[in-house]
Structure 1
Amino acid sequence: MLNEKLKRLCNVGLRGSTLASKFLLVFFLARLLSPAELGLFGLLSATIGYSLYILGFDFYTFSTREILKVPKSQRGSILKNQASIFLVLYIIALPLLSIVFIKGLLPWKYAAWFFTLVVLEHLTQELGRLLIAVSEQLAASIILFLRQGIWPILAVAAMSFSKDLRTLDFILAAWCIGATFALLLGVFILFRAGLSGWSAKVDWQWILRGLKVSSALLVATLAIRGVLTLDRYWVQSLSGFEVLGAYVLFISIGNALMSFLDAGVFSFVYPELIKAWHSRDIPKFRAELAKLAGQTTIVSALFFGIALLAIEPLLHWLGKDLYITYQSIFPWTLLATTLYGVGMIPHYALYAMGYDRSIIYSHLLSLPLFTASAWLSSNYSATLAVPISVCGTFLFILLWKSASLFLLRYEISSQNASNTAKA
């Protein structure tokens, strides 16, 4: 029992350290790099993050359930199937991703870093998901810490002591080294797991079935993540890389709210929501939903207030006038991420109840809504067009999901009342 508690404590500590490291990295880069370099780093990071969905096709949503259905002796065949579809997706997707360089959206000098990081990040991400699925949470957290937590600390420390290292190339090299160590450790752990079944033939029928399952949610995921990738490209096209650097800094502060909510609220409450709904324990479901709403609202309100108070002294500490000049962007990015966080209340309720259709529709509509809004508002303010449009998009998603949940609960209440009357 003590050993299990120690593992859980280490797991929470590693994930907390990773979140803190990611949160602080952008602050120190804003101090040590030029705003234009920070903007380019944000653009590269967002594009790499978006590319992972294309490479992975959200196939894990199918394979994770499948691998838990079979004994250890057959899991190698599942992983072989998954590796086969990933190879096909790499052959198709990696050449297509070069469009961002061919069209001049990203400089060619960073192409090698980009493709290396896309592959490393995807493989380590899939290994982490696999380890979580087979109840190796601590190993998954160690890999995550190597992939996202330790290298920023070491890189910032080195840059603080040596001005020659204060370059974007050094940051990307450190990222590659961290991801490589994470990948090697993941492969070692997988090798030691003693999985068998590797000699089985690739089951393409199984793969096609998995693609059908994963593709439904993938399109919606690509749409909502598209908003959080296209926004950076739009800011850069309207105002240049320096203003993009300010936008990346401000949106990163807001995104810290989601990290806190994920780690401190959502990961604890939404599994209980699912259990309560599937056991048809409606009073418990309502109690858990109320807990989710209350904790999310309190954390979001506190974060919003503290961030508004802290932003000015923080910007003075960074010592870059450009960030102060464009401080007007910050309230909008903060409001956008707050709306996104609050929108997860109806999101998790709908997800727990198995009503994915409302979630998918709202995400599909978000990208064209953002595009139209940014295009129209850019005629009035090049600086605020994108953050205001992101804000409006997340407000729309919040209202859509809330209305869907309200109508669904009304429909269920009406059905229950009708069934009671018949009885």
Structure 2
Amino acid sequence: MKIYNLLIRGATLASRFVLVIFIARFLSTEELGAYSLFAASITYALFFVGMDFYTFSSREILSVDKSLWYGIIKNQYVFYIIFYFIGFPVIYSFFYFGFLPKHFIVWFYVMLVAEHLAQESMRLLVVLNRAFLANVALFIRSGIWVYAAVIIMFFNDDMRDVSMILALWLVGASISVLLAIPELWRIRNISADTSKISYAWMWKGLKIAAPLLVGTLALRSIYLVDRYSLNYFSNLSAVGIYSFYSSFASALLAFVDAVVVMQIYPKIVSSVKNNDFDGLAYYKKKFIKSVSILSVILVILLPIGVYILLLWMNKGEYIDYIPLLGILMLSSIVYSFALLPHYELYAHNEDKKIIISSLWAALVGVIVMPAGAYYFGVYGVAVGQVIAVIFLYINKILLLKKSKLYA
């Protein structure tokens, strides 16, 4: 990866943590909780309205001549419009059952459309081999507006509220969509496609994308039910405190993913495909050793860094719950180890088993996290998440052994 692409990616990743830190610094725990609920719900709803259809359409684009690309893209976006009409009434349940404050409803639908179009535009730029432009679009969508929000909150007391943050987020997502328009126009001009909208093609893609989406939605629900449970059985302040520490625990996961997983998992998949059992055993040991070492380092350094940060922020309400970080880091570490059997199953084309393990883990999470929230608050939810992730890990190992794929 070229250095400027790496810098843009790094700045985009850092923006997530910068925003949480400054919301916690300048806003109340309730406001951080409200923002966290909103952002987590948007992320989950994106899967539903998009149906992971890009996994099918991207492969279709890359398998035909450029002159046919525009016809595929046209059908892809018509598919999304159809699912807006299907998904929006279902998504209203977030507000109807009180999981999200109703005064956010307009913001939610507008942001959902902007975020989804931004996401699909970025994916399209990647498929069209415009990697740099895709990275710029991602930075505008997820990064630059965050730094603008931080500067505004730092210098203007009157602008320190969630609505300002949402407004800048909407601007960033909308601008990133505009970056893809020239590319779409260029493709349209070279298009030889005169076909009409193909609902049969959409149905074919849906049948391919939907099964894997079920597993994705199930697994992602673990990281949505936690916040919803706290909001329902406790309050937004508890959600804010939990979300603050959860963001740092997810930093551990993101770091392990970038440093270890992305480097080793292609080799694991390649070893499986080539029946290289010695290579598979070697890379599995390397994976376990690397994740273990990195986890130990982060378990030592991250709490120290967070504690120093909280002293600077002068936020005693967060310091009181610092043990929560340890529990959530344990969840991230177990999830990191669970990626090893996940990629083995993936390499063996055992998609069905991956889906099954995700569904069972989601079921466990849906049971234990609300119960934990009811009886023990933020600590109960965190322990419930650990239990769900451990179940995911064990289940994938058992599925590998049952299939006689475990080496």
Q: Fold-level match, TM-score > 0.5?
A: yes
Give 1:82's aligned residue: 76
Q: Which amino acid aligns with 1:21?
A: S
1:214 aligns with 2:209: yes
Equivalent runs, 1:134-173 vs 2, <5 Å:
134-173=128-167
Q: What letter matches 1:185 in structure 2?
A: L
Contact 1:73/1:197, CA 8 A, preserved across alignment: yes
What's the offset of the Cα at 1:296?
Answer: 2.5
Instruction: Indicate whether 1:357 and 2:359 are aligned.
Output: no
Distance of 1:107 and 1:353 partners within structure 2: 44
Superposition pairs of residues 329-368 of structure 1, within 5 angstroms: 329-368=324-363
Q: Determine the C-alpha separation between the residues in 2 that align with 1:84 and 1:44.
A: 27
State the alpha-carbon separation in 2 of the partners of residues 195 and 180 from structure 1.
Answer: 26
- Consecutive unaligned residues in structure 1, runs of 5 or more: 1-6, 414-423
| Distance across 1 between alignment mates of 2:65 and 2:373 | 56
Given the alignment of the two structures, is residue 20 of structure 1 paired with residue 19 of structure 2, yes or no? Answer: no
The question of whether the paired residues in 1 share the 8 Å contact of 2:272 and 2:344 is answered with: no
Shift of 1:264: 2.7
Question: Which residue of structure 2 aligns with residue 183 of structure 1?
Answer: 177
Check conservation: 1:29, 1:38, Cα contact below 8 A: yes
Q: 1:106 and 1:131 mapped to 2: Cα distance? A: 33
Q: CA deviation at 1:411?
A: 5.0
SS of aligned partner of 1:179: helix
Distance in 1 of aligned mates of 2:33 and 2:374: 23
Structure-2 residue corresponding to 1:116: 110
Q: Say how many residue pairs are matched.
A: 406
Sequence identity percentage = 34
Q: Is the 8 A contact 1:289 1:349 kept in 2?
A: no
Contact in 1 for aligned 2:67/2:193 (Cα 8 Å): no
What letter matches 1:8 in structure 2?
K
1:356 CA displacement: 1.8
Q: 1:105 to 1:380 in 2, by over 3 A?
A: closer
Look up the match of 1:276.
271
Contact in 2 for aligned 1:304/1:338 (Cα 8 Å): no
Which TM-score applies when normalising by structure 2?
0.94
Cα deviation digits, residues 281-329 of structure 1 (max 9, x gap): 4433433333333323322222222123333222222222221223332
Q: How far has the Cα of 1:198 moved from its partner?
A: 5.0
2:249 matched residue in structure 1: 254
Q: Establish whether residue 265 from structure 1 lines up as the match of residue 260 from structure 2.
A: yes
Name the counterpart of 2:59: 65
Deviation of 1:218 after TM superposition, in Å, equals 1.0
| Bigger Cα displacement from structure 2, 24-33 vs 281-290 | 281-290
Answer yes or no: is 1:10 the counterpart of 2:4. yes
Residue 163 (structure 1) shift: 0.5
- Quote the residue 1:205 is aligned against: 200
TM-score normalized with structure 1 length: 0.90
Distance 1:296 1:201 in 2: 50
Q: Give distance in 2, aligned partners of 1:221 and 1:258.
A: 17
Query: What's the CA shift for 1:378?
Result: 4.5
Matched, 1:37 2:31: yes
* Alignment root-mean-square deviation, CA: 2.0
> In the TM superposition, what whole-angstrom CA distance separates every residue of 1:214-250 from its partner, at most 9, and x where no partner exists?
1111111111111111110101122201111100100
Residues 62 and 164 from structure 1, CA distance in 2 versus in 1: closer, same or farther, beyond 3 angstroms? same
CA distance in 2, matches of 1:282, 1:383: 44
Alpha carbons 2:218, 2:362 under 8 Å: kept: yes
Deviates further, 323-332 or 153-162: 323-332
Where do 5+ consecutive residues of structure 2 fail to align?
A: none
